[in-house]
Amino acid sequence: MEIREPAKGKIGAEVRLGSRPLDSTEDACRTIKDLVYRHRLVVLPGLNLQAQEYVAFARKFGTPQVYFQGHYHHPEHPEIFVSSNVPYKGEKFGVSGTGRYWHTDYQFFEQPLPLTMLYPQAFALKSRETSYIDMSMVLQRLPAALRRGVEGVRAQHDAKLRYKVQATDIDKSIAELLAEVAQLIPPVWHPAIVEHPATGESILYMSPGFTTALEGLDYETNRTFLADLFEFVTRPEHIHTQYWKDGDILLWDNRSLIHKASPNPAGEPSVSFRIGIYDQLPFYRGLQPSDGIKS
């Protein structure tokens, strides 16, 4: 195993496992998880895994998630969340155009998703990147007025406006759909600042994609404050852009990072396999750990 750690103040380590990643030992996988916690993101280059091997590899780091909506599932491996605009065996395959906004996975559930593993299968020619923001670093840089606004309060996260319409929704009104989605995934509250269970770092646990309110503020004050907050969060100097190469697998910590997929040029293929992983730690200190089974 070869490890290359990032420069000080940067995110993203690289770990080369060789040609037999499924032979990785428990100690090696523990080392990789430690790198993820410290450097937020680990790139595992040069891999060539079939779908079933990919699931087996993910299991080395924890319990793979089965996403709560079945139309995202790989038809043979439900642990794989499929983002694709390419048919599979002549049928629609997963959901296209996912995650093209700043978010962290499963933030809208009582038990968020600790780790994400992503393995692209087909790239657009000119769109091969995922962007990240380190929210621990952002918290350290927050201006005093914004910092005061997020200290000691909870934030609400709501995913209903991110719902992807599917074939079974035909003939339903927008009102009916919103009511059904609100029942399926009601808004949840988490501390606006959380403490990482492995490193003890404080992290701003909010995102433009899912965070809709801070407790104690009225609607208009929330809108103004969140607009100011996310304008600061998403400034260019806070963004790390990871450019993909064939055979790359990325593993990152959803506690520390928000991320955004790149847009896909019209007519170009894009297929990615995502596996969410529960790592046997609480998502943040004070929350019970989850194995994801009830998700």
The CA-based angle 145-146-150, given to 5 degrees, is 120
What pLDDT is recorded for position 293? Answer: 59
| Other Cβ atoms closer than 10 A to 266 | 7
The per-residue pLDDT for range 123-155, each reduced to its tens digit, is 877 778 899 999 999 999 999 999 999 999 999
Q: Closest Cα to residue 132, out of 104, 96, 170, 97? A: 104
The per-residue pLDDT for range 223-245, each reduced to its tens digit, is 999 999 999 999 999 999 999 99
The per-residue pLDDT for range 173-221, each reduced to its tens digit, is 999 999 999 999 999 999 999 999 999 999 999 999 999 999 999 999 9
Q: What is the pTM of this model?
A: 0.94
| Cα–Cα distance for residue pair 7/5, rounded to 1 Å | 7
Q: 194 in helix, strand or coil?
A: strand
Q: Which pLDDT band holds residue 267 (cuts at 50, 70, 90)? A: confident
Domain edges within the chain? 2-278
What pLDDT is recorded for position 78? Answer: 96
Does residue 257 carry a pLDDT above 90? yes
Q: Which residue has the higher pLDDT, 91 or 291?
A: 91
Does residue 294 carry a pLDDT above 60? no
The alpha-helical segments, DSSP class H, found in the chain are 26-39, 51-59, 135-141, 144-150, 174-184, 219-233
What pLDDT is recorded for position 295? Answer: 42
| Cα–Cα distance for residue pair 169/156, rounded to 1 Å | 27
- Furthest CA-CA distance within the chain: 56
Q: Closest Cα to residue 12, out of 283, 257, 263? A: 257
Q: Which pLDDT band holds residue 268 (cuts at 50, 70, 90)? A: confident
Determine the average pLDDT of the residues in 104-112: 96
What pLDDT is recorded for position 288? Answer: 85
Domain with residues 2-278, CATH architecture: 4-Layer Sandwich (3.60)
Determine the average pLDDT of the residues in 11-23: 92
Q: Which residue has the higher pLDDT, 210 or 264?
A: 210
The percent of residues in the chain predicted with pLDDT above 90, rounded, is 82
